[in-house]
Homo-oligomer: A and B are copies of this chain.
Amino acid sequence: MTYRAPINDMLLSLKHGAGLQAAIAAGHYGDFDQDITSAVLEEAGKFATDVLAPLNRIGDKNGIRLADGKVTTAPGWPDAYRRWTAAGWNGVSGTEAFGGQGLPMAINAACTEIWSASNIAFGLCPLLTLSAIEALDAHGSDELKKIYLEKLISGAWTGTMQLTEPQAGSDVGALRSRAERAGDGSYRISGTKIFITYGDHDMTDNIVHFVLARLPDAPPGTKGISLFLIPKFLVNADGSLGQRNDIYPSGVEHKLGMHASPTCTMTMGDHGGAIGYLIGEENRGMLCMFTMMNQARLGVGLEGVGIADRAYQQALAFAQERKQGKANGKKGDGMDAIIAHPDVKRMLLHMRAMTAAARTICYATAVAMDIAARATDPKAKSAATVRAALLTPIAKAFSTDIGNEVTSLGVQIHGGMGFIEETGAAQHYRDARITAIYEGTNGIQSIDLVTRKLAANGGAGVWALIGELTAIVGKVEASNDPGFGTTAPKLRDALDSLERTSKWLLERLASAPNDALAGATPYLRLFGSALGGCMLAGEALAARDDSHGDPARYVTLARYFAENVAVQAGSLERTVTDSAEAVNNADLVLLAS
């Protein structure tokens, strides 16, 4: 079963749900011509179908190998990577000054979904390179940029992000890797990093590692962390590759999924220390990390969207082919395709609706990031910065939770065949599982949403968003379209729940912070459900006036989401506001003998 990018759905989501068209109309995208979007996505979809999707199962089956200090990827992968970079896909949103195409992040977000859907383990490599590019672009010296930026933007070299150590996972401040000043402006780094994605591979001739370490005189915690660029091979003055640097993969993990993506333990300093170059200032490494964190988190959210859509397409095809039982009210002899059974229809619709909502939330985050980066009007820029910060944890956590839920439904629809690896449904289920964990666990996203994003400026960012979403609900009501069913009242209730719960949390953040923390996860779910529901409704309204539209399709989808997902907002509100006491008393349950 291959993958085809759902171009019409993506365009509708991007232009209307995510607000790209309005932002262009408001002038925030300068002279960007929206018309090329469709062509870019078509081409990306074609490459994904032809080259990446067929390698997905091969990568899973073959995995990667570490031998003699070198990682070898699965058959066909280096070639596919070369073709992918040759076609310019690595540089879609890269700075034009360094060879990128300078397209909006929103366009690249849609492309990222496509890479993730067709081959999530492949797409993960450039996702991390993108983060590295961002850190270097924002904080690197001109000299470092000159040597490395163009290579990273073209994808000739890939980047890694090296934060985690055995004792320092979610708590980055606990890391111990050590950097010594070499006296010539460079540094010598030693230590061990774990869980380093694409820490080594054979797809490019060099790899640029971005490594967090501590100087000997650094203060403890996150205020004593510096960021270093450490190339696998040093680069000579003429740009040619020089000596092998002292950073090696010393182990690879045997994982639940993402078998084709090498997850390495990296050892630095066994041969005198890895030569590294400071990015930004000493002890300001966390600042550099924060710069790129939003984009990386959005990228992981898009992985959730992509893998969900892949699972949906596969389940849909199976449900149309597989015949079992006779559906109620169907005439004739013989069995019906299982898609005729209402319970299977429900599962497929659920997959589709959840994926569509997550997609638009992610795309809207990218549009906000674009406006924050591109707008000339300072007010618009500032509002977009707040919006991007607010949406990022929801884009990451809600979408990856959905990735797990939807891929599980994909297995379920396949019945017994879903449990057999050959079918491929189980691979999506396995591959998706990490997305709710890496780049900050979804619990950490929820805490970020409550303690930083909601709390910023007394909740102003949330009230502004609720205002916009309420306007959409008003339009649904005004449409008088019976196809919407109870969508409008469901969404209105959901927004009311969101507003009340937000106020309750703001109050508790001040008076009883552990109560607020206890409700962080259900709050994020509530937020995503209300937000996604309104966005899908907005898309359904827009579908009437858009050539990509198919009103009956999008109205039914929005309705399903409102009546099945957004409707949960009320119970989630009560969970947040009523159950903090039970959660705070958890030790009575957990620590009893």
Contact = CB atoms under 8 A, between A and B. Distances in A.
A443 interface: yes
Interface of A: 8, 164, 167, 169-171, 174, 194-195, 253-258, 316, 323-325, 328-329, 335, 339, 341-349, 352-353, 404, 408, 411-412, 415-416, 418-422, 426, 429-430, 433-434, 436-438, 441-443, 446-447, 485-486, 490, 513-514, 517-518, 520-522, 550, 552-553, 556-557, 559-560, 563-564, 567-571, 574-575, 578-590, 592-593
A578 to B, nearest CB: 5
Contact of A415 (B347, B441, B522, B557): B441
Contact of A434 (B8, B342, B419, B442): B419
Contacts of A569: 571
B343 A518 contact: yes
A54 to B, nearest CB: 20
B421 A342 contact: no
B583 A416 contact: no
A210 B506 CA distance: 62
Contact of A582 (B349, B422, B443, B575): B349
Contacts of A419: 253, 255-258, 433-434, 437
A307 to B, nearest CB: 14
Given A342-B518, A345-B583, A567-B578, 10 more contacts: A164-B416, A341-B517, A342-B520, A342-B584, A346-B583, A408-B433, A411-B437, A419-B433, A560-B589, A571-B571
Q: Is the interface of A mostly helix, strand, loop or mixed?
A: helix
A254 B323 CA distance: 23
A571 B567 CA distance: 6
Contact of A412 (B325, B343, B437, B593): B437
Contact of A571 (B325, B570, B580): B570
Given A343-B517, A412-B442, A568-B568, A588 B553 contact: yes
27 contacts: A164-B416, A174-B324, A253-B420, A255-B421, A255-B426, A256-B421, A257-B419, A329-B513, A342-B514, A342-B580, A342-B583, A345-B586, A404-B408, A412-B443, A419-B434, A426-B433, A429-B433, A485-B578, A485-B579, A553-B588, A553-B589, A556-B585, A560-B582, A563-B582, A564-B582, A568-B568, A569-B571
For A253, A342, A411, A550, which residue has the most chain B Cβ atoms within 10 angstroms? A342
A574 B583 contact: no
Contacts of A580: 342
B563 A574 contact: yes
A579 B346 CA distance: 10
Contact of A426 (B256, B352, B517, B583): B256
